[in-house]
Amino acid sequence: MKAYRIASIPGDGIGHEVVAEGVRVVAAAARRFGFTCAFEELPWGSQHYLERGRMMPDDALTRLSGFDAIYLGAVGHPKVPDHTTLNGLLLPIRRAFEQYANVRPTVLFPGVATPLAEKEKPIDIVLVRENTEGEYAQVGGTVHGGTGNEVAVQTAVFTRLGTERIIRFAFELAQAEGRRSVTSITKSNAQGHSMTFWDRVFREVAAQFPKVETASILVDAAAMELIRRPWSFDVIVASNLFGDICSEITATVTGGLGLAPSANLDPTRRHPSMF
């Protein structure tokens, strides 16, 4: 019987309730399909930060590397700045373990309330978000802080490796699941360097998957269409920031974030993935 070790990080607030129920679901699946899961709870998050000045201990990544997977709840606290929670726990895990593919399936299940007027059309979208670079690369800085001449610079990082592998992942997912199309989210009309590069790599990869339909949509138009007619989308691939925004919309139109699973994957399986 296959056995898995899973690091459980309930995090903050409702995260403790969600993770506890999730563990029950996994246990039921394990009994049905013949495997076992041993969960080890790690009390990291905002409370850890308030008590120790860090979201997780110095050896956290070393400890996590010994697990088969990571199960993460919600992270956030009114007394802890959002950039501290993100950069103190989530981003270090994603980067250290090369979890470059953030996969966000979203389905409108029967009987689930939706704010959409048309409730009968099926919604089944998989959003693939680049998860380790792009607009969340944390490259930049500030000078002349606290003065009238203060300057802040934030640089988005788009590498050939990072861009090509996430777009290829989206096409391979679409092909493996028999899905009809992949839509790229861009903003190349305004971002003349990073997003024109993204568009070019998208076209290059798309040419290798001739049976998959493609589209490229500006992020503002995509946000509108995800609300107006979400059933027209199948697989979506987007950069870190645009994927973050669009995944909030897809979750909202199918019942809310509480019904939206999220996987932070290292597709090579050299490192643990986080769910």
pLDDT-above-90 percentage for the chain: 88
Measured in whole angstroms, the distance separating CA 224 from the mean position of its chain's CA atoms is 21
In the structure encoding, which two tokens stand for residue 166, read together? 């996430």
Confidence of residue 121 (pLDDT cuts 50, 70, 90): confident
pLDDT-above-70 percentage for the chain: 100
**Alpha carbon distance 95, 137 (integer Å):** 10
CATH class name, domain 100-275 = alpha beta
Q: What is the pLDDT of residue 258?
A: 80
Q: What is the DSSP letter of 88?
A: I
Nearest to 250 by CA among 223, 217, 270: 223
Assess contact for 67 and 272: CB atoms under 8 A. yes
The better pLDDT of the pair 116, 101 is held by: 101
Residue pLDDT, tens place only, 211-259: 999 999 999 999 999 999 999 999 999 999 999 999 999 999 999 888 8
**Strand, helix or coil at 249?**
helix
Confidence of residue 113 (pLDDT cuts 50, 70, 90): confident
Average pLDDT over residues 134-149: 93
User: For residue 68, with 0-12 CB atoms within 10 Å meaning exposed, 13-18 middle and 19 or more buried, which class applies?
Assistant: middle
* Same topology between domain 1-96 and domain 100-275: no
Confidence of residue 199 (pLDDT cuts 50, 70, 90): very high
**Alpha carbon distance 158, 163 (integer Å):** 6
Question: Does the structural domain 1-96 have CATH classification 3.40.30?
Answer: no
Confidence of residue 184 (pLDDT cuts 50, 70, 90): very high
At 259, which amino acid appears? Answer: L
Has residue 119 got a pLDDT over 80? no
Angle, CA of 129, 197 and 152, to the nearest 5°: 75
Domain boundaries, the chain: 1-96, 100-275
Q: What is the pLDDT of residue 206?
A: 98
Residue pLDDT, tens place only, 15-63: 999 999 999 999 999 999 999 999 999 999 999 999 999 999 999 999 9
- pTM of the complete model: 0.92
Residue-averaged pLDDT of the chain: 95
Number of C-alpha atoms within 13 angstroms, CB side, residue 194? 20
